[in-house]
């Protein structure tokens, strides 16, 4: 068996095209232009790259990008004032605070300050809490976990009634992905560094989400034949005299056993920004009264 690639680049491109069409329709029919505000504190090069990419793709989709690039030494109170101003701006439909923040700032307090109806990154604690309740849905779900589910859906991978394993219960990826799978009717195992017999648990699973941040951890003999493998990892690993990008999955081995597998790079990464655009569009549609 050779796995089918869950191609995040191709899928995200399709989603961006869909979003662009809906943005044009919203402008023409309701004179509403979706707006995303990105809040970047400091000069971290990786964060600057991520924010620039998000702003560029936002503009390419016909949305407005409102960049708030703030000094490294900004106070907590001043940061919260910036967020509150964006909450009050009717042209801003989504707010994203780029993490990590400098050490002197409280990330949880900053995320909690974002209005629920503009929390398009899905990390306001209230939105995360709503994910834990079977009879509620968050206003928005976090983008990378949402992208994992979207990939499974777009490739026709059944979730309901299937066994799923999430490796790594992080607040950003693992835990919200597990909760989204649970909402969709999966039978779930959440594993961590202290879990015994990880290979045995993975071999039972129809869906494995590897978000444990250990390069090449998931081997071919960990995988149930035909399973869907979502690799959220991304590491630069030295191989000989060169560096290569690796995920949490030993791709060459797993590709020969699984039914579906995400490549690294080109899997979950591109989906994250696509879902951010989709969430921002949804927020704008809600403001215009054309979406629930």
* Model pLDDT for residues 238-279, shown as the tens digit of each residue: 778 888 889 999 999 999 999 999 999 999 999 999 999 999
Give the pLDDT confidence score for residue 135 in this predicted structure: 80
Residue 207 main-chain phi, psi, to 5 deg: -135, 130
Task: Tell me if residue 278 is catalytic.
Answer: no
Closest CA to 53 of 290, 285, 279, 270: 270
> pLDDT digits over 33-55, tens only?
999 999 999 999 999 999 999 99
Give how far Cα 123 sits from Cα of 109, 129, 141, 142, 218, Å: 11, 10, 8, 6, 28
Task: Tell me if residue 134 is catalytic.
Answer: no
Query: Buried b / exposed e across 256-266, counting CB within 10 Å, b at 16+?
Result: ebbbbbbbbeb
Task: Using CA atoms of 14, 19, 20, 21 in order, give the dihedral in degrees to the nearest 10.
Answer: 90
Predicted TM-score (pTM) of the model is: 0.94
Listed as ranges, residues in the chain with pLDDT below 50 are none
Task: Tell me if residue 60 is catalytic.
Answer: no
Which entry of 7, 118, 119, 121 is annotated as an active-site residue?
A: 121
Which entry of 98, 119, 162, 189 is annotated as an active-site residue?
A: 98
- Residue indicated by tokens 């779930």: 188
Give the pLDDT confidence score for residue 138 in this predicted structure: 87
């Amino acid at each position: 068996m050779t796995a089918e690639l869950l191609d995040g680049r191709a899928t995200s491109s399709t989603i961006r095209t869909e979003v662009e069409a809906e943005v044009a329709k919203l402008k023409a029919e309701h004179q509403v232009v979706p707006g995303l505000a990105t809040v970047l504190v400091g000069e971290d090069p990786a964060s600057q790259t991520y924010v620039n990419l998000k702003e560029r793709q936002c503009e390419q989709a016909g949305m407005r990008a409102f960049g708030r690039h703030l000094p490294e030494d900004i106070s907590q109170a001043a940061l919260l004032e910036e967020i509150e101003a964006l909450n009050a701006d009717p042209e801003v439909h989504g707010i994203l605070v780029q993490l990590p923040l400098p050490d002197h700032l409280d990330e949880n307090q900053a995320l909690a300050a974002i209005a629920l109806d503009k929390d398009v990154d899905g990390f306001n604690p209230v939105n995360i809490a709503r994910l834990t309740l079977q009879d509620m849905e968050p206003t928005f779900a976090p983008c990378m976990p949402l992208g994992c589910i979207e990939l499974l859906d777009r490739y026709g991978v059944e979730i309901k009634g299937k066994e799923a394993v999430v490796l790594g219960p992080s607040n950003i990826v693992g835990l919200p992905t597990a909760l989204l799978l649970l909402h969709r009717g999966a039978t779930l195992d959440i594993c961590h560094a202290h879990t015994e017999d990880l290979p045995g648990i993975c071999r039972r699973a129809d869906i494995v989400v590897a978000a444990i941040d250990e390069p090449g951890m998931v081997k071919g003999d960990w995988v149930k034949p035909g399973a869907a493998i979502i690799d959220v990892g991304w590491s630069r690993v030295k191989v000989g005299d060169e560096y290569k990008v690796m995920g949490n999955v030993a791709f060459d081995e797993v590709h020969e056993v699984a039914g579906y597998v995400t490549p690294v790079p080109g899997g979950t990464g591109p989906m994250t920004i696509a879902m951010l655009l989709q969430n921002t569009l949804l927020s704008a549609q809600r403001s215009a009264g054309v979406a629930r």
